[in-house]
Amino acid sequence: MKRLKRFAVSTLLILLIFSSCRGNERITKSEFALDTVVTLNLYSRKDEWIIEPFFRYLRELEGILDRYDEKSELRMVNEKAYSEEVVLSDVLFDVISKGFEIARETDGAFDIAIGPLVDLWQIGTRTSLPEGGDVERALSLSSWEYLDLDEEKHSIRFQKDGMSLDLGGIGKGYIASLLMEYLKENGVERASLNLGGNISLLGDGEHGKYWRIGIRRPEDDRSDYVDVIEVSSGRNVSTSGGYERYSIFDDGKRYSHIISPKTGYPVEGDLASVTVVSTDASLADALSTASYVVGSEGLEELSEKFSVRIIALKGDQSIETYDATNASP
Protein backbone atom coordinates (compact mmCIF):
# COMPACT_ATOMS: atom_id res chain seq x y z
CA MET A 1 0.00 0.00 0.00
CA LYS A 2 1.19 3.45 -0.80
CA ARG A 3 2.42 5.50 2.11
CA LEU A 4 0.09 8.37 2.79
CA LYS A 5 1.07 11.67 4.26
CA ARG A 6 -2.18 11.83 6.10
CA PHE A 7 -1.39 14.10 8.96
CA ALA A 8 -0.01 16.80 6.72
CA VAL A 9 -3.51 18.10 6.08
CA SER A 10 -4.91 17.42 9.51
CA THR A 11 -5.12 19.60 12.56
CA LEU A 12 -3.72 18.90 15.99
CA LEU A 13 -5.91 17.97 18.92
CA ILE A 14 -3.61 19.25 21.67
CA LEU A 15 -0.86 21.82 21.79
CA LEU A 16 1.85 22.72 24.22
CA ILE A 17 1.30 26.28 25.39
CA PHE A 18 4.52 28.24 25.36
CA SER A 19 5.49 31.01 27.69
CA SER A 20 7.47 34.10 26.84
CA CYS A 21 8.81 34.45 30.37
CA ARG A 22 12.52 34.72 31.06
CA GLY A 23 14.11 31.39 31.79
CA ASN A 24 12.39 29.86 28.81
CA GLU A 25 15.13 30.29 26.23
CA ARG A 26 13.90 27.59 23.95
CA ILE A 27 15.80 25.73 21.24
CA THR A 28 13.26 24.19 18.87
CA LYS A 29 13.71 21.68 16.11
CA SER A 30 10.89 20.16 14.02
CA GLU A 31 10.97 17.45 11.41
CA PHE A 32 8.35 15.57 9.48
CA ALA A 33 8.42 11.94 10.59
CA LEU A 34 5.95 9.20 11.46
CA ASP A 35 3.38 10.88 9.20
CA THR A 36 3.34 13.89 11.45
CA VAL A 37 5.35 16.85 12.66
CA VAL A 38 7.79 15.98 15.43
CA THR A 39 8.99 18.89 17.55
CA LEU A 40 11.71 18.77 20.17
CA ASN A 41 12.19 21.72 22.53
CA LEU A 42 15.36 21.99 24.58
CA TYR A 43 16.09 24.64 27.18
CA SER A 44 19.84 24.66 27.55
CA ARG A 45 22.56 25.44 25.01
CA LYS A 46 24.65 22.60 26.41
CA ASP A 47 22.06 20.12 25.10
CA GLU A 48 22.05 21.38 21.53
CA TRP A 49 24.44 18.68 20.29
CA ILE A 50 21.76 16.03 20.92
CA ILE A 51 19.39 17.28 18.23
CA GLU A 52 21.09 15.47 15.40
CA PRO A 53 21.50 12.03 17.05
CA PHE A 54 17.99 12.41 18.52
CA PHE A 55 16.39 12.71 15.09
CA ARG A 56 18.65 9.98 13.73
CA TYR A 57 17.41 7.66 16.49
CA LEU A 58 13.82 8.66 15.67
CA ARG A 59 14.36 7.68 12.00
CA GLU A 60 15.83 4.38 13.08
CA LEU A 61 12.76 3.59 15.21
CA GLU A 62 10.42 4.72 12.46
CA GLY A 63 12.26 2.33 10.12
CA ILE A 64 11.26 -0.57 12.40
CA LEU A 65 7.64 0.31 13.18
CA ASP A 66 6.26 1.81 9.97
CA ARG A 67 4.18 -0.85 8.29
CA TYR A 68 3.83 1.20 5.12
CA ASP A 69 7.59 1.12 4.63
CA GLU A 70 8.48 -1.89 2.49
CA LYS A 71 11.78 -2.32 4.29
CA SER A 72 10.50 -2.10 7.85
CA GLU A 73 10.63 -4.99 10.27
CA LEU A 74 6.93 -4.64 10.99
CA ARG A 75 6.14 -4.98 7.29
CA MET A 76 8.24 -8.14 7.12
CA VAL A 77 6.38 -9.55 10.14
CA ASN A 78 3.01 -8.82 8.53
CA GLU A 79 4.10 -10.59 5.37
CA LYS A 80 5.58 -13.68 7.02
CA ALA A 81 4.14 -14.37 10.46
CA TYR A 82 1.34 -16.60 9.24
CA SER A 83 3.56 -18.98 7.29
CA GLU A 84 6.39 -19.03 9.81
CA GLU A 85 7.31 -18.05 13.35
CA VAL A 86 9.22 -14.75 13.17
CA VAL A 87 11.88 -13.78 15.72
CA LEU A 88 11.66 -10.08 16.55
CA SER A 89 14.14 -7.35 17.46
CA ASP A 90 14.01 -6.18 21.08
CA VAL A 91 12.24 -2.97 20.11
CA LEU A 92 9.52 -4.62 18.05
CA PHE A 93 8.98 -7.40 20.56
CA ASP A 94 8.70 -4.87 23.37
CA VAL A 95 6.10 -2.65 21.70
CA ILE A 96 4.07 -5.63 20.48
CA SER A 97 4.10 -7.15 23.98
CA LYS A 98 2.91 -3.88 25.49
CA GLY A 99 0.17 -3.56 22.87
CA PHE A 100 -0.85 -7.17 23.41
CA GLU A 101 -1.21 -6.64 27.18
CA ILE A 102 -3.24 -3.47 26.71
CA ALA A 103 -5.46 -5.27 24.19
CA ARG A 104 -6.11 -7.96 26.77
CA GLU A 105 -6.70 -5.51 29.60
CA THR A 106 -9.06 -3.29 27.59
CA ASP A 107 -10.96 -6.36 26.48
CA GLY A 108 -9.96 -5.66 22.91
CA ALA A 109 -11.13 -2.03 22.70
CA PHE A 110 -7.51 -1.34 21.81
CA ASP A 111 -6.23 -3.98 19.41
CA ILE A 112 -2.85 -4.07 17.67
CA ALA A 113 -4.10 -6.80 15.31
CA ILE A 114 -6.55 -4.39 13.69
CA GLY A 115 -4.53 -4.24 10.42
CA PRO A 116 -7.09 -5.91 8.12
CA LEU A 117 -9.83 -3.48 9.20
CA VAL A 118 -7.56 -0.44 8.91
CA ASP A 119 -6.57 -1.58 5.41
CA LEU A 120 -10.17 -2.16 4.38
CA TRP A 121 -11.48 1.20 5.55
CA GLN A 122 -8.47 3.22 4.36
CA ILE A 123 -9.74 6.23 6.26
CA GLY A 124 -8.42 9.42 4.74
CA THR A 125 -8.30 7.97 1.23
CA ARG A 126 -11.25 5.73 0.45
CA THR A 127 -14.67 7.25 -0.29
CA SER A 128 -16.82 4.25 -1.23
CA LEU A 129 -18.28 2.31 1.68
CA PRO A 130 -16.92 -1.24 1.95
CA GLU A 131 -19.31 -4.16 1.45
CA GLY A 132 -20.72 -5.71 4.62
CA GLY A 133 -19.15 -9.06 3.68
CA ASP A 134 -15.73 -7.47 3.43
CA VAL A 135 -16.16 -5.90 6.86
CA GLU A 136 -17.14 -9.30 8.27
CA ARG A 137 -14.08 -10.93 6.71
CA ALA A 138 -11.65 -8.26 7.96
CA LEU A 139 -13.30 -8.37 11.39
CA SER A 140 -12.80 -12.13 11.60
CA LEU A 141 -9.04 -11.60 11.14
CA SER A 142 -8.61 -8.57 13.40
CA SER A 143 -8.04 -9.83 16.90
CA TRP A 144 -5.12 -9.97 19.32
CA GLU A 145 -6.50 -13.34 20.43
CA TYR A 146 -5.14 -14.88 17.22
CA LEU A 147 -1.58 -13.77 17.99
CA ASP A 148 0.93 -16.20 19.48
CA LEU A 149 3.76 -14.41 21.24
CA ASP A 150 6.65 -16.40 22.63
CA GLU A 151 8.49 -14.54 25.37
CA GLU A 152 11.37 -16.92 25.49
CA LYS A 153 12.08 -16.89 21.80
CA HIS A 154 11.00 -13.26 21.27
CA SER A 155 8.88 -14.48 18.40
CA ILE A 156 5.43 -14.01 16.93
CA ARG A 157 3.10 -16.15 14.86
CA PHE A 158 -0.33 -15.35 13.36
CA GLN A 159 -3.01 -18.00 13.73
CA LYS A 160 -4.94 -16.86 10.65
CA ASP A 161 -3.91 -16.14 7.09
CA GLY A 162 -4.41 -12.47 6.21
CA MET A 163 -3.80 -11.09 9.71
CA SER A 164 -1.66 -7.98 10.19
CA LEU A 165 -0.48 -5.73 12.99
CA ASP A 166 -1.15 -1.99 13.00
CA LEU A 167 0.78 -0.04 15.62
CA GLY A 168 -0.76 3.32 14.68
CA GLY A 169 -2.44 3.56 18.08
CA ILE A 170 0.64 2.94 20.24
CA GLY A 171 3.76 3.42 18.10
CA LYS A 172 4.15 7.15 18.58
CA GLY A 173 3.85 6.86 22.35
CA TYR A 174 6.30 3.97 22.42
CA ILE A 175 8.82 5.87 20.32
CA ALA A 176 8.34 8.93 22.56
CA SER A 177 9.18 6.81 25.61
CA LEU A 178 12.46 5.62 24.06
CA LEU A 179 13.36 9.13 22.92
CA MET A 180 12.71 10.65 26.34
CA GLU A 181 14.84 7.92 27.90
CA TYR A 182 17.59 8.78 25.42
CA LEU A 183 17.46 12.44 26.43
CA LYS A 184 17.68 11.59 30.13
CA GLU A 185 20.54 9.14 29.66
CA ASN A 186 22.46 11.91 27.95
CA GLY A 187 22.05 14.39 30.76
CA VAL A 188 19.16 16.47 29.38
CA GLU A 189 17.20 17.79 32.35
CA ARG A 190 14.52 19.85 30.69
CA ALA A 191 12.75 19.17 27.38
CA SER A 192 9.38 18.79 25.72
CA LEU A 193 8.58 16.57 22.79
CA ASN A 194 5.51 16.76 20.59
CA LEU A 195 5.07 13.76 18.40
CA GLY A 196 1.83 14.37 16.52
CA GLY A 197 -0.48 14.75 19.46
CA ASN A 198 1.65 12.80 21.91
CA ILE A 199 3.40 15.26 24.19
CA SER A 200 6.12 14.22 26.66
CA LEU A 201 7.55 16.50 29.32
CA LEU A 202 10.78 16.52 31.29
CA GLY A 203 11.88 18.93 34.00
CA ASP A 204 10.29 22.18 35.08
CA GLY A 205 7.53 23.50 32.87
CA GLU A 206 7.41 26.77 31.04
CA HIS A 207 4.88 28.03 33.57
CA GLY A 208 6.72 27.33 36.78
CA LYS A 209 6.55 23.79 37.99
CA TYR A 210 3.98 22.67 35.44
CA TRP A 211 3.65 22.48 31.72
CA ARG A 212 0.42 23.65 30.16
CA ILE A 213 -1.34 21.76 27.39
CA GLY A 214 -4.29 23.21 25.50
CA ILE A 215 -7.06 20.92 24.32
CA ARG A 216 -8.31 22.28 21.03
CA ARG A 217 -11.85 23.13 20.22
CA PRO A 218 -12.91 20.74 17.47
CA GLU A 219 -12.79 22.07 13.95
CA ASP A 220 -11.73 25.51 14.99
CA ASP A 221 -8.56 27.41 14.45
CA ARG A 222 -5.50 26.30 16.32
CA SER A 223 -5.42 29.05 18.85
CA ASP A 224 -8.71 28.26 20.52
CA TYR A 225 -8.66 25.93 23.54
CA VAL A 226 -11.63 24.35 25.23
CA ASP A 227 -9.53 23.54 28.23
CA VAL A 228 -5.99 23.89 29.49
CA ILE A 229 -4.49 21.15 31.64
CA GLU A 230 -1.36 21.27 33.77
CA VAL A 231 1.09 18.41 33.87
CA SER A 232 4.41 17.88 35.61
CA SER A 233 7.78 16.40 34.74
CA GLY A 234 7.74 12.79 33.56
CA ARG A 235 4.17 12.92 32.29
CA ASN A 236 3.02 12.07 28.80
CA VAL A 237 -0.17 13.41 27.26
CA SER A 238 -1.88 11.70 24.34
CA THR A 239 -5.08 12.66 22.54
CA SER A 240 -7.28 10.74 20.14
CA GLY A 241 -10.20 12.15 18.25
CA GLY A 242 -12.45 11.54 15.35
CA TYR A 243 -12.08 14.92 13.75
CA GLU A 244 -8.39 15.04 12.95
CA ARG A 245 -8.45 12.22 10.45
CA TYR A 246 -11.61 10.93 8.80
CA SER A 247 -13.26 10.05 5.50
CA ILE A 248 -16.54 11.27 4.09
CA PHE A 249 -18.00 8.25 2.34
CA ASP A 250 -20.56 8.10 -0.45
CA ASP A 251 -23.40 7.99 2.09
CA GLY A 252 -22.41 11.55 3.06
CA LYS A 253 -21.42 10.53 6.58
CA ARG A 254 -18.09 11.15 8.23
CA TYR A 255 -16.12 8.15 9.46
CA SER A 256 -13.26 8.39 11.95
CA HIS A 257 -9.92 6.58 11.67
CA ILE A 258 -10.49 4.75 14.93
CA ILE A 259 -12.28 1.48 14.36
CA SER A 260 -14.29 -0.58 16.78
CA PRO A 261 -12.75 -4.04 17.00
CA LYS A 262 -16.17 -5.29 18.12
CA THR A 263 -18.22 -4.16 15.11
CA GLY A 264 -15.57 -3.64 12.44
CA TYR A 265 -16.96 -0.15 11.76
CA PRO A 266 -15.42 3.24 12.53
CA VAL A 267 -16.35 4.41 16.01
CA GLU A 268 -19.31 6.76 16.20
CA GLY A 269 -18.80 7.64 19.82
CA ASP A 270 -20.01 10.47 22.02
CA LEU A 271 -16.53 12.01 22.30
CA ALA A 272 -15.01 14.75 20.18
CA SER A 273 -11.59 13.99 21.64
CA VAL A 274 -10.13 12.25 24.62
CA THR A 275 -6.83 12.94 26.35
CA VAL A 276 -4.90 10.59 28.59
CA VAL A 277 -2.11 11.62 30.98
CA SER A 278 0.29 8.94 32.21
CA THR A 279 3.87 8.42 33.31
CA ASP A 280 4.04 5.78 30.56
CA ALA A 281 3.91 7.24 27.03
CA SER A 282 2.95 3.96 25.35
CA LEU A 283 0.09 3.52 27.78
CA ALA A 284 -1.12 7.10 27.28
CA ASP A 285 -1.14 6.60 23.50
CA ALA A 286 -2.88 3.21 23.52
CA LEU A 287 -5.41 4.30 26.12
CA SER A 288 -6.39 7.45 24.28
CA THR A 289 -7.34 5.23 21.34
CA ALA A 290 -9.12 2.75 23.64
CA SER A 291 -10.94 5.60 25.40
CA TYR A 292 -12.30 6.86 22.11
CA VAL A 293 -13.59 3.36 21.37
CA VAL A 294 -15.31 2.81 24.73
CA GLY A 295 -16.74 6.34 24.91
CA SER A 296 -17.61 8.29 28.04
CA GLU A 297 -19.42 5.32 29.61
CA GLY A 298 -16.18 3.39 29.99
CA LEU A 299 -13.77 6.13 31.06
CA GLU A 300 -14.08 5.90 34.82
CA GLU A 301 -13.25 2.22 34.67
CA LEU A 302 -10.24 2.77 32.39
CA SER A 303 -8.96 5.57 34.62
CA GLU A 304 -9.15 3.32 37.68
CA LYS A 305 -7.81 0.20 36.06
CA PHE A 306 -4.72 1.88 34.61
CA SER A 307 -4.27 4.73 37.15
CA VAL A 308 -4.36 7.46 34.52
CA ARG A 309 -6.00 10.85 34.20
CA ILE A 310 -8.53 11.04 31.35
CA ILE A 311 -10.00 14.28 30.03
CA ALA A 312 -12.98 13.80 27.76
CA LEU A 313 -14.25 16.44 25.39
CA LYS A 314 -17.81 15.51 24.57
CA GLY A 315 -19.66 16.25 21.38
CA ASP A 316 -21.54 19.09 23.10
CA GLN A 317 -18.12 20.59 24.00
CA SER A 318 -18.45 19.90 27.71
CA ILE A 319 -15.37 18.59 29.49
CA GLU A 320 -15.28 15.76 31.97
CA THR A 321 -12.20 14.62 33.89
CA TYR A 322 -11.69 11.16 35.35
CA ASP A 323 -8.74 10.91 37.67
CA ALA A 324 -7.94 7.84 39.69
CA THR A 325 -4.26 8.66 40.11
CA ASN A 326 -4.50 10.83 43.24
CA ALA A 327 -1.15 12.24 42.25
CA SER A 328 0.12 15.70 41.44
CA PRO A 329 -0.74 16.81 37.91
Q: Using CB under 6 A as the criterion, which residues of the chain lie in contact with ligand AMP when the complex forms?
A: 110-111, 114, 118, 166, 168-169, 240, 257-259, 261, 285, 288-289, 293
Nearest approach, Cβ of residue 151 and ligand AMP (Å) = 22
CA distances from residue 39 to 74, 198, 231 in whole angstroms, order as listed: 25, 10, 18
Closest to ligand AMP by CB, 43 or 255? 255
From 142, 247, 256, 288, residue interacting with Mg ion (rule: CB under 5 A): 288
Q: To the nearest whole angstrom, how small is the minimum distance from the Cβ of residue 239 to ligand AMP? A: 8
Q: Could you tell me if 236 and 110 are in contact, meaning their C-beta atoms sit under 8 angstroms apart?
A: no
- Return the range that interacts with Mg ion (CB under 5 A); candidates 38-46, 220-228, 285-293, 319-327: 285-293
Nearer Cβ to ligand AMP (114/139) = 114
CA distance 182 to 91: 14
Choose between 62 and 285: whose C-beta lies nearer to ligand AMP. 285
Alpha-carbon distance of 166 to 179, in angstroms, equals 21
Which whole-number Å values give the CA distances from 200 to 293, 317, 328, in the listed order?
A: 23, 25, 16
SS3 238: strand
Is residue 243 packed enough to be buried (19+ CB in 10 Å), middle (13-18) or exposed (0-12)? Answer: middle
For the segment 161-200, give every residue that binds Mg ion (CB under 5 A).
169
Instruction: Report how far residue 289's alpha carbon sits from residue 169's, in angstroms, rounded to the nearest whole number.
Output: 6
259 contact, one of ligand AMP, Mg ion, none, CB 5-8 Å limit per kind: ligand AMP
CB of 252 vs ligand AMP, minimal distance in Å: 22
Rounded-to-integer distance, Cα 12 and Cα 215, Å: 9
Give Dmax (Cα) for the chain.
61
Stretch that binds Mg ion, among 93-101, 115-123, 154-162, 278-286 (CB under 5 A): 278-286
Nearer to ligand AMP, 18 or 243 (CB): 243
Binding residue (CB under 5 A) for Mg ion from 289, 291, 296, 303 = 289
